[in-house]
Structure 1
Amino acid sequence: MQTTSRQLPHHKALSGGTQQPRTPQPRRFDPIAMLSNSEMQAALGSGALMLIAWAVGGWSEILSIVIYVISYTLGGWSKAKEGVELLVKERDLDVNLLMIAAALGAASIGYWNEGAMLIFIFALSGALESYTMERSKKDISSLMALKPATAVRIEKGAMSEVAIDLLVIGDLLLVRPGELIPADGKVCQGESSVDQASITGESLPIEKSTGSEVFAGTVNGEGPLYIEVTKSAENTLFAKIIKMVEEAETELPDSQRFIKRLEAIYARVVVAATLLLITLPPLLLDWSWSATFYKAMVFLVVASPCALVSSIMPAMLSAISKSARKGILFKGGVHLENMARTSVVAFDKTGTLTEGTPQVTDFIAGDGYDRNELLAISASIENMSRHPLAEAVVRKAAEENLELHGVLESKSITGWGIEGEIDGQLWKIGKSNLLDELVKSSEGAGLEYWRSLRQQLESEGKTVSIILTDDQVAGMIALQDTVRPQAAAAVRKLQALGIKVAMLTGDRAATAQVIAGKTGVDLVFADLLPEDKVIQIKALREQYGHVVMVGDGVNDAPALATATVGIGMGMKGSGAALEIADVVLMNDNIEEIASTVSLARRSQRIVKQNMIFAVSVITVLMISNFVQGIALPFGVIGHEGSTILVILNGLRLLR
């Protein structure tokens, strides 16, 4: 990128306002924050009033009842309001109304303290759940606080502070030390370290210099940076993350949807059973009305599915929160749930298992062609494409200081390569599989020579392209991509979890096998067009079950959408891949996929533990109530205590 034509003023000349970052701090248990929660304050106030009412009951029953009423109102108002709104709007029952009904029922037969205790513990468990779920979400949404508001733009040597929304691609910005980077862009001038933790989860700052890519919402370090904007505000990586956060907070997993549907049905059954318990025993078993009503209220308390309802979301949100701290963003709990069932992880090769920046290793010109001229022609045509292989050819020509030609009628040939016209002659560059279809020999060299050369180059793990003109081979290009340093370790970790690893690539089989040998993948599928990748993903799903697809390019988008869970590469991934992906690796570290699957499986185990525990407690308390009879306070503590325990069990994932 050339910057000499721009006037870059010294950064100390700026007189505009500064924009200091608000870097999120590690989250620990904060009792002050918990007590500032309005639900928690109401619950604790209700409990305090319950104790006061109990204490004054010995000398003033009327005053005691008045205080109990206030305690009921303070602790139960918000839950009662939620229950009534659901009943009026959707004609559905939930646990909120069941608990309020049980408390009022207890008070109606003189058990004011037991009802107040029920309200207090129910409100306390609800406040604890709200607080912990909010805490979990903050690990994702804390990056919202890092959204830049203004930027310092340089125009004709003058600086002005403008709103982020007014920036356009090509604007030149100044970011001083310690400030937020306001837009995605490339460094035009300056050197500094940038804290990218909010985007990638990396703990150490990354060194940036001329040509380096930077992202909105990250924090500049010790040196001033001049940055050219490469993306508008709504298309920045940061904006995409915000969108993913919003989706993650609203999308419920299938298990939670099932529990929500079950809650409404179950609540109706409990109400019907309670009414039968109130009316039938006095008529059929000669029980007293007060004893029957008391036992029915105990049943109403212990049969309510509070703990069951709270079994899932705290655990799911804790897992999503923990992943977010490591730079892995889920777009919803349903994807975490699906990831726990992973049987196969399929990787795209280029840019995923490999670095995605191939280098030209061999450039062979056919007889009658000047090597440098042919390289210049090839680079000129490839300059019309943004494919990594094309960019490698252009870089090779630039390294050798070759001058490019003007190209007419350039167009992409889907699934093969590119063609273009130079000085009236049509040139084509693309996959060497066309050699198997050609019948004519190139000038000065037989077709068998090129086939033999291709075989040799591919046996070395190189990708081979051919240069054609007039349907004759003019030359051959060999390129080689670098395997990611963590690729082999990422594959081994997945295999250790009992997961098969597949590689999908558009490269030839020989090239794919070399990469497979270096990474250790189990299954290799080569020579694939984008639609072929979709077919292979469907076949893997039919054979193995749940399939995770990992990719970074536009051509991976259909396969990402077809897989059970699609994982996109956040740093180098295309916009289409990020939009369609269900999970995004913000730091492109594929080694984290295995730990994410492990975390997803742990979350599912905890959910199952919670559900089994919740159902067991409900069952034991219900049986005890009918067989032997239990006191209402014991039923309250047993039932609501189990609710608190399942919430805390889910929070273990935050450690």
Structure 2
Amino acid sequence: MQATSKQLPKSTARQGTGQQPRAPKPRRFDPLAMLSNPEMQAALGSGLLMLIAWAASGWSEVLSVILYVISYTVGGWIKAKEGVETLVKERDLDVNLLMIAAALGAAAIGYWNEGAMLIFIFAMSGALESYTMERSKKDISALMALKPATAIRIEQGAMSEVPIDQLAVGDLLLIRPGELIPADGKVCRGESSVNQASITGESLPVEKAEGSEVFAGTVNGEGPLYIEVTTSAENTLFAKIIRMVEEAETEVPDSQRFIKRLESVYARVVVIATAALIVLPPFVLDWSWSNTFYKAMVFLVVASPCALVSSIMPAMLSAISKSARKGILFKGGVHLENMAKVKVVAFDKTGTLTEGVPQVTDLIAGEGYSREELLAVSASIEKLSSHPLAEAVVRLAEEEQVELYSTEENKSVTGWGIEGRIDGRLWRIGRSDMLDEQTPAEAAGHAQWTAVREQLESEGKTVSLILEEERIAGMIALQDTVRPQAAAAVQKLQRLGVKVAMLTGDRKAAAGVMAGKTGVDLVFADLLPEDKVTRIKELRGQYGQVVMVGDGVNDAPALATATVGIGMGMKGSGAALEIADVVLMNDNIEEIASTIELARRTQRIVKQNMIFAVTVIATLMLSNFLQGIALPFGVVGHEGSTILVILNGLRLLR
């Protein structure tokens, strides 16, 4: 049922039974917010108890030890629990158990304060990492809170409030000013501005009027809107984004998997080495048992890979979070990692480098016909067709307010075009291939039209003939328009040293014209969907990492074949969005270059973190054996480096 056929109430007065949820206020960063993190509360509590225990040591040793035990428990309980779970469930050692063992070892030889300091700083670094990841995930999935529970549905002129899961395609809804839009749909009455930042990342509201598309999870502005639901609740763009967020939270990049495997092996090596350091030196080097145990505990502290383990995920999640705020959704850190290595970005042409909406560029009338007459005839016959070229002709007639004719016997001609009768005369509109199938005599008579067609096609335009009976009455040329930002997007990628390819099913002439307008490096034309897959494989073989950008169902196989597939979120097909690894929610292809820059910057920060972490660990280990370092210095040096690598990763949130 068409939206315009529904009965619309004349009043927007509230008739529902409940209050429609309002848009939440923008979430601002609050430094005090981290205090609500349970791990941070435990870490601070542990530190406070450590200070009280240290102060009490001067007048009551027993009370001091009791307070230290409580400090150990408060600060180390969460990490000890994680370590035990890893040991029991996975039969593996991790850095949590190493730190707890080192703290207990320090306490065993009387260094209660040093052990408490280790627990406190270790708990603090863990809380900071936990808070970083939690905040990054909130930045990605904050829009999940923009899910209204109910909607105001209009049936037979009456309003009722219903749960959104009861909405069906075709339902008519009222969206009051300031309310969240509960479903994807089209405006059938009203005008307003809509804040789409939660979906597209656009900072400014977008004006909506009759016929405009709106999305679930966006916020209506000052005017009431009546919308017709066009998509079921589980298939809305909003629902797809939520699924992407859930995937992004569970997928782990290859570098993090490597560090996780390394941590397991490394932890075993550290435990074995610590045991050897406790047992061997008294016999081999004639050290005292207390001195040997002390150095072993220092080694256990400084050799643990805390900083190395924290080098990757905080930085990755910060980058993914920053991208999400700009309307670029990654389905996991592995795709961000791969983006940093990209050598070629391949664009589908239609709907990606171009708007995907053809426009009439030329309407050439033959002798005895006027341009207005041919436009009226063409639009009258094409108005019943849903073909994009037909829609372009009808759209032009509407723009020029041309009065249409009444037609009879309209029908499509398979493989050629469409035909219909106007005042008893047969008119046909279709492909210009018939000019290639003429007899020599006919070709001579139509030489002028053939020359015009060749000129138009050399400009990358699609040409259709207009025939009255068997006579050529005119020609229509149509062309897809280049996205305004396409050339700039290509140039930005080229400045990064990335080659840009264009894949299209269009003919070489049309592809060449489009390549000239956008400045791409490589052009592949006359491609079927399977041909695009072949080209992507060839590009990967020749250059390495390849990104594919597309929006249609026919792009889905190529998106899956590329190292990273990028789908267009606004106009992209469901198949393209499901298969894509990254989604441009605002369809702004200029952001691809900045995303590659962000990915490369993330990799640089990860490398900085890893080099710094390994250097600190190696320096502290050598110092412990060659010169000897105090346990407090080892604690501060090791755990301080962990906090520094986490803060370094947080820089990406700026």
Q: What TM-score do the two structures reach when normalised by structure 1?
A: 0.91
Residue in 2 that maps onto 1:379:
382
Is residue 2:568 matched to residue 1:569? yes
Structure 1, unpaired ranges of 5+ = 412-416
1:462–1:541 CA distance, 2 compared to 1 (3 A): same
1:448–1:616 CA distance, 2 compared to 1 (3 A): farther
CA contact (8 A) 1:20 1:178 kept: no
CA contact (8 A) 1:346 1:502 kept: yes
Letter in 1 for 2:10: P
Indicate the SS of the match to 1:231.
coil
1:471–1:235 CA distance, 2 compared to 1 (3 A): farther
CA contact (8 A) 2:430 2:464 kept: yes
1:477–1:561 CA distance, 2 compared to 1 (3 A): farther
Separation in 1 of the partners of 2:529 and 2:281?
Answer: 69
Indicate the SS of the match to 1:210.
coil
1:440–1:34 CA distance, 2 compared to 1 (3 A): farther
CA contact (8 A) 1:381 1:420 kept: no
Shift of 1:114: 1.0
CA contact (8 A) 1:106 1:112 kept: yes
State the number of aligned residues. 643
Deviations 1:539-559 (A, max 9, x none): 111111111111111111111
CA contact (8 A) 1:567 1:581 kept: yes
Separation in 2 of the partners of 1:446 and 1:630?
Answer: 99
Equivalent residue runs for 1:52-201 within 5 Å: 52-201=52-201
Letter in 2 for 1:6: Q
Indicate the SS of the match to 1:521.
coil
Shift of 1:17: 2.5
Higher alpha-carbon deviation: 472-481 or 496-505: 472-481
Separation in 2 of the partners of 1:240 and 1:9?
Answer: 35
Residue in 2 that maps onto 1:322:
322
Separation in 1 of the partners of 2:609 and 2:409?
Answer: 68
Separation in 2 of the partners of 1:13 and 1:85?
Answer: 54
Shift of 1:587: 1.0
Separation in 1 of the partners of 2:5 and 2:417?
Answer: 34
Indicate the SS of the match to 1:292.
helix
Structure 2, unpaired ranges of 5+ = none
Separation in 1 of the partners of 2:253 and 2:470?
Answer: 55
Residue in 2 that maps onto 1:519:
518
Indicate the SS of the match to 1:550.
strand
Deviations 1:45-95 (A, max 9, x none): 111111111111122222211111111111111111111111111111100
Is residue 2:242 matched to residue 1:242? yes
CA contact (8 A) 2:15 2:159 kept: yes
Separation in 2 of the partners of 1:493 and 1:530?
Answer: 27
Shift of 1:235: 0.8
Letter in 2 for 1:513: G
1:500–1:115 CA distance, 2 compared to 1 (3 A): same
Deviations 1:107-144 (A, max 9, x none): 11111111111111000000011111111111111111
1:298–1:438 CA distance, 2 compared to 1 (3 A): farther
1:438–1:529 CA distance, 2 compared to 1 (3 A): farther
Indicate the SS of the match to 1:559.
helix
Equivalent residue runs for 1:109-508 within 5 Å: 109-362=109-362, 375=378, 379=382, 382-383=385-386, 385=387, 388-396=388-396, 400=402, 401-402=404-405, 438=437, 451-464=450-463, 477-508=476-507
Indicate the SS of the match to 1:23.
coil
Shift of 1:179: 0.6
Shift of 1:515: 1.9
Shift of 1:460: 2.8
Deviations 1:201-235 (A, max 9, x none): 11111111111111111111111101011111111
Separation in 1 of the partners of 2:105 and 2:469?
Answer: 92
Residue in 1 that maps onto 2:535:
536
Letter in 1 for 2:61: E
Shift of 1:497: 1.0
Letter in 1 for 2:136: S
1:189–1:603 CA distance, 2 compared to 1 (3 A): same
Letter in 2 for 1:63: L
Separation in 2 of the partners of 1:53 and 1:600?
Answer: 46
Separation in 2 of the partners of 1:520 and 1:335?
Answer: 27
Higher alpha-carbon deviation: 54-63 or 290-299: 54-63
Residue in 1 that maps onto 2:609:
610
CA contact (8 A) 1:378 1:393 kept: no
Separation in 2 of the partners of 1:390 and 1:291?
Answer: 89
Residue in 1 that maps onto 2:554:
555
Separation in 2 of the partners of 1:540 and 1:245?
Answer: 30
Separation in 2 of the partners of 1:264 and 1:485?
Answer: 52
Shift of 1:466: 6.5
Letter in 2 for 1:535: T
Shift of 1:379: 2.3
Deviations 1:574-605 (A, max 9, x none): 11111111111111111111111111111110
1:512–1:94 CA distance, 2 compared to 1 (3 A): same
Separation in 2 of the partners of 1:254 and 1:410?
Answer: 54
Separation in 2 of the partners of 1:288 and 1:437?
Answer: 100
Residue in 2 that maps onto 1:414:
none
1:119–1:442 CA distance, 2 compared to 1 (3 A): farther
Separation in 1 of the partners of 2:492 and 2:470?
Answer: 47
1:451–1:609 CA distance, 2 compared to 1 (3 A): farther
Separation in 1 of the partners of 2:65 and 2:427?
Answer: 94
Residue in 2 that maps onto 1:17:
18
Shift of 1:249: 1.1
Separation in 2 of the partners of 1:418 and 1:161?
Answer: 50
CA contact (8 A) 1:379 1:404 kept: no
Indicate the SS of the match to 2:343.
strand
Indicate the SS of the match to 2:13.
helix
Shift of 1:623: 0.7
Letter in 2 for 1:12: A
1:538–1:481 CA distance, 2 compared to 1 (3 A): same
CA contact (8 A) 1:435 1:451 kept: no
Indicate the SS of the match to 2:228.
strand
CA contact (8 A) 1:35 1:41 kept: yes
Letter in 1 for 2:89: K
Higher alpha-carbon deviation: 166-175 or 368-377: 368-377
Separation in 1 of the partners of 2:440 and 2:138?
Answer: 65
Letter in 2 for 1:113: N
Shift of 1:422: 7.7
Residue in 2 that maps onto 1:586:
585
Q: What TM-score do the two structures reach when normalised by structure 2?
A: 0.91
Deviations 1:414-458 (A, max 9, x none): xxx6778989xx9998876x6798576897877866653332112
Residue in 2 that maps onto 1:3:
4
Separation in 2 of the partners of 1:639 and 1:405?
Answer: 85
Higher alpha-carbon deviation: 371-380 or 323-332: 371-380
CA contact (8 A) 2:418 2:430 kept: no
Higher alpha-carbon deviation: 534-543 or 316-325: 534-543
1:378–1:367 CA distance, 2 compared to 1 (3 A): farther
Residue in 2 that maps onto 1:623:
622
Separation in 2 of the partners of 1:115 and 1:90?
Answer: 27
1:333–1:470 CA distance, 2 compared to 1 (3 A): farther
CA contact (8 A) 2:551 2:571 kept: yes
CA contact (8 A) 1:114 1:632 kept: yes
